[in-house]
Amino acid sequence: MKLIRPLIFLWLGAMAPAIHAGGMAIDAGRTLAATCANCHGTDGHSVGGTESLAGVPRDTLLRKLSAFSRGEKPATIMHQITKGYTPEQLTLIAEHFAAQRARTGH
């Protein structure tokens, strides 16, 4: 089951441009970023324990994601997770979080 869930999200992310819900195309970046909510909170608004991603500039996120993927940045699981995405998918994820409004006072 642990492997099936990420594969479903990867498939949805790949198919998102072709999937429509109520006449609206599903946002591929948001679909891919949904798996990040487990640790980083809904739309990147962490409630503690991990870094909030909402509002972090796209290039900053891409640098971090790439460093995880290459094994240059130590992590408990991020280096494994990032290897499951293409560079294009990581860009969509970074763009999604960069577009979110960061919460202040948390």
Comparing 105 with 16, which gets the higher pLDDT?
105
At 16-72, the pLDDT tens digits run: 444 444 444 568 999 999 999 999 999 999 988 899 999 999 999 999 999 999 999
Q: What pLDDT score was predicted for residue 26?
A: 65
What number of other Cβ atoms are within 10 A of residue 36's Cβ? 21
Q: What pLDDT score was predicted for residue 48?
A: 85
Q: What pLDDT score was predicted for residue 23?
A: 46
Q: What pLDDT score was predicted for residue 75?
A: 81
- Domains of the chain are 4-12+27-99 (1.10.760.10)
Cα gap 34→10, rounded to integer Å: 11
